[in-house]
Amino acid sequence: MTRNPFVPILLGCLVLLSACGRSGKPDAYGIIDAHSWMIAASEAGQIMALPVEEGQRVERGAVAVQLDTAALSLQLRAFEAQIRALQPTVPDVGRQLDVLHRQRESLQNERERIAPLVSSGAASRRQLDNLDDQLRVLDSQISAARSSLSRETAAVLVNIESLKSQADIVRDRIARCTVTCPETGTVTALYAHLHEFVDAGHPIFKLADLQHMYVDAWLEGGDLTRIALGDAVDVKVDAEGGTLRTLPGRISYISDEAEFTPNKVLTRDTRASLVYHVRIDLAEDARLRSGMPAEIYLPSQK
């Protein structure tokens, strides 16, 4: 029987294609994501200014939302007015005690004048005793006055400090009505609009760092011997015409403990396996989007 000379060639090609297919199988699958923040207001109020829009890149510290502060400003003015009204009522302890101190000084001078006269018999002992009695009474009056003035001063100062604390709280609430961007990033979604009223804690927009995207993947324990922190890996994503586009990636995190594969990543069978969470940082690429599926290819040896 005549053997077709092309059969061995065809079989060889099939073997090569099969080997290529096996070698080109991804080591893991993952989902592209970005660090993101849900930006909300700490206070309730009407949005008076919203100088951001979806797709806009904003810098850290930039004002993104301004809520109405009219009512809070009125509260602050009321507290400040009460403080100004109380400040003149603080007793002037020094001035009020000055009169008593002058009286005591006068009596003390008189006693010092009389004392030698008593010794020489030019003045009676009774005169000196009367001066001593008056000095003791005056000392008691000074002590009582000082105690009373201290209590009055303390009461007024407590009220002033309480009002100052309340004013500081209102100032803090006014400051919180100005919402700034916590990080540099891109506004990916708006959840409220200009002139709308939002409650405290209600998300106003979502901010994402699209310049530093990453892929979360899960590897079996045997694959960990092929990688280390900082290693370069290939990440492939869908491209036009059903092709794949290769992106450079670098491993930035490897979990210390095994876990079950998250439901969103693989099939029911593979979800039962214990795997290790790995994060791969991607180079900046404007075409990447959160939620895109990705294939991860590890180095052949480590």
Note the pLDDT of residue 287.
86
Domains of the chain, residue spans: 27-68+188-297, 70-176
| Among candidate residues 238, 253, 242, the one with its CA nearest the CA of residue 288 | 238
pLDDT digits (tens, 9 = 90+) for 212-259: 999 999 888 888 888 889 999 999 999 888 889 999 999 999 988 877
Q: What is the CATH number of domain 27-68+188-297?
A: 2.40.30.170
**Which of these ranges, 4-8, 129-133, 281-285, has the smallest mean pLDDT?**
4-8
Percentage of residues in the chain with pLDDT exceeding 90? 45
> Over the stretch 179-222, which tens digit does the pLDDT of each residue have?
999 999 999 999 999 999 999 999 999 999 998 999 999 888 88
* 275, pLDDT greater than 90: no
Band of pLDDT at residue 94, cut at 50, 70 and 90: low
